[in-house]
Structure formats: structure tokens, C-alpha cells
Amino acid sequence: MKKLFLLLFSLCSISAFAAEPAEGGEFNPGDMIMHHIGDEHSWEFAHGATLPLPVIVYGKNGLDIFSSSNFLDEHHNPKPYKGYVMEHNHIYYANEEGEPVVEKNEKGEEHHVGPLDFSITKNVASLFISVALLLGVFFTIAGRYKKNAGSAPRGIQSFFEPIIIFIRDDIAKPNIGPKYQRYLPYLLTIFFFIWFNNLLGLMPGGANLTGNISVTLILALFTLIITVFSGNKSYWGHIFKTPGVPVALLPIMIPIELVGILTKPFSLMVRLFANITAGHIIILSLFSLIFIFQSVAVGPVSVAFAVFMNFLELFVALLQAYVFTLLTAMYFGGAVEEHDHADDMGHGDGAHH
């Protein structure tokens, strides 16, 4: 336990060092926090250790591929390159003065103009790393099962097998029912994808992938699409002709039910995004206290609280993966469940009696 605490203390110290402002610069906690939780065209692992990432844009000059380091001069000041300029991590066309090109829309409002950006940003690079890690882990496990068929799991197998069985027996089966097998691969994928990326985001210099609302939006959209296309007659019947509801009220109930279909994945998206982002902000805020107060007394206290928050975030990383998977399974179960309208009416009579 002592060694684990010292390890986390060291990792937190590295993160605090990464948050240190440049020499002679004034520390701004808001900028530092947004810099760490936001997406960028370069990957800063620690203060002074930055990896430039590929820029891939398609615009007036056709397809251009180059390193993001070309947008900085030898003094690390921003500069235009190939007719493009980067401002606030967005790439725009550059004018003769090296500033973003500004155009007016039909309403007379000014806006910057830029090419289509397909760049490998920090979040995209982290996504590739997590996918490679997932494929490596589970192809390794699958290979060992084939090689040692019938024998007890060992090593990495013995760690992941109880988790997989838990998702199957305690999430998929009770919430989806007999048709759980067709949805189990998706449930396992989103659980481990979210869990792995939550953990990678807690590492010093890690990317805040699951704290990016675009990523959580796509995950929630996958769940919505599968739910909608899995809906049976009973599912759509409850939406367009709710049992026990007078026909005169259907024009009111149908829009409410349709909105309900969208609010479920919306809650999935916001819950994961908000919880992961909030955890990162709290930890970075604790580091900020070191540079705000610049006191020897505050430093150890801030790091100690940050260590505690890291332990808590390890639990939250697993919890959010579990909650997302559980709610997804419940939505699938509601779409494939066979309802008996007569039983629905009977339940109401029984409650009355």
C-alpha cells in the first residue's frame, strides 16, 4: 500500500509539473485546465515534452498532410504555414498578414473560414491506442482459450473472465432476456472501451477521450440506432398506441413517447461526459492550488487530495462503464420485450382491487 501511494504521489507530481506555467508567465488555472481536458493537434505528455501530430486538411489547395509543429516558429510562437493558420486549435485559411480569413454570411455575421480538417488530434491518437490495446488484450485471451481449451484460465484470462461473465449474467441476461446473445458483443465492446479509455485518461499526459462530448455522442448514437432497429411490434405499439390511453389523448402521448426515445441516449451521452470531465477538472483544480498559493504547506495537501481523487476516479472509471452498459442493456430489453396488453390492463385492475 505504501509503494502504491508513493507511485501515485510521483505520478501526481509529474502531472503538477506538466501544469507548471512557462518561466516568466502568469499562471492561469482556467487556461491550464481547458488545455488539459481539451483536444489539440499536439500531445503534451509533460512540461516541455510535446509530440506534434499529423495535420490532414482538404481545402483550396487540395489534400495537405504535414506536422502540426509547422504552425510554430523556433520560439514556439504561432505562424502560418501553406496558407493555413491555427488559432485556438482550429485550422483556418490565412490571409497576407498571417491571420485567419474572415467572411460574412447572409446575415452579415463574420466568421472564420477553414478547410475540412481530418487531422490526427490528441483524442484521435488516444482512440487508436485504446483500440490497439483492446484488440491486443482480447486477441491474446482468445488465442489462449483456443490453445488451452478445457483448462482453467490463467494470467490475464483469470482477470477478464469474471468481468465478462458478470456482464453476461448480471447485465445482459436479466435486462434483455432470451435474445441477449445477439447484443452481448456490443455490450462487452462498449464496457471495455469506456473502461479502458477512462483509465488511460487518468494517466499523466493522458487524453480526455471519454470526457469529449463528441465521443460520448457517437456511443449514445450507436445505442439509439440498435434500439430503434431492434424494436418489435409491441415496442412500437406502446409508442404509437399506448395501452389504456384514450384515443383522444394519443396526439399528446405519441410526441411524448417519441421524445422519450431520444432523451434516453441523450442522458447516456451527458452522464458519461459530465462525470469524466468533472473528475479531471477537480484533480487539475487541486494541482492549481499549488501555483496559486505558492506555499510549501499547500503543496503536500493538494497532492494528497489529488491522490485521494485519483483513487476515487479509478472507481468512477469502472462505475461509468458499468452504468452505460447497464442502461444500454435495459433499452435493448425494452425494445425486444414482448408485452401482453391484456396483462397490462389486468395489472391496473389488480392494483385497484
**Cα angle for residues 269, 274, 279 (degrees, 5° grid):** 140
Per-residue pLDDT band at 13 (split at 50, 70, 90): very low
Q: Is the pLDDT of residue 250 over 70?
A: yes
Q: Are 11 and 302 in contact (CB under 8 A)?
A: no
Per-residue pLDDT band at 351 (split at 50, 70, 90): very low
Query: Count of CB atoms within 10 A of residue 161's CB?
Result: 14
The residue extents of the domains of the chain are 56-119, 123-340
Per-residue pLDDT band at 339 (split at 50, 70, 90): low
Buried b (16+ CB within 10 A) or exposed e, 203-221: eebbbbbbbbeebbbebbe
For residue 213, give the nearest of 18, 14, 27, 38 by alpha carbon: 38
Q: What is the pLDDT of residue 7?
A: 47
Q: Are 314 and 334 in contact (CB under 8 A)?
A: no
Orientation angle between helical segments 298-336 and 184-202, nearest 10 degrees = 170
With 0.85 as the threshold, say if the pTM is over it. Answer: no
Q: What is the mean pLDDT of residues 342-347?
A: 46
The C-alpha atoms of residue 105 and residue 170 are separated, in whole angstroms, by 54
The C-alpha atoms of residue 24 and residue 75 are separated, in whole angstroms, by 15
The C-alpha atoms of residue 36 and residue 19 are separated, in whole angstroms, by 9
Instruction: DSSP for 49-78, please give it.
Output: EEEE-EEEEEETTEEEEEEGGGGB-TTS-B
Q: What is the pLDDT of residue 340?
A: 58
Q: Is the pLDDT of residue 14 over 50?
A: no
SS3 category, 197: helix
> What is the percentage of the chain residues whose pLDDT exceeds 90?
38
Instruction: DSSP for 151-179, please give it.
Output: SPP-THHHHHHHHHHHIIIIIIHHHH-TT
Q: For residue range 35-55, what is the model confidence (pLDDT) as tens digits? A: 778 888 888 877 677 888 999
At a CB cut-off of 8 Å and minimum separation 6, what does 162 contact?
none
Q: What is the pLDDT of residue 196?
A: 95
Query: Count of CB atoms within 10 A of residue 143's CB?
Result: 10
Per-residue pLDDT band at 99 (split at 50, 70, 90): confident
For residues 347, 351, 352, 353, the Cα torsion angle rounded to the nearest 10 degrees is 100
Q: What is the pLDDT of residue 8?
A: 45
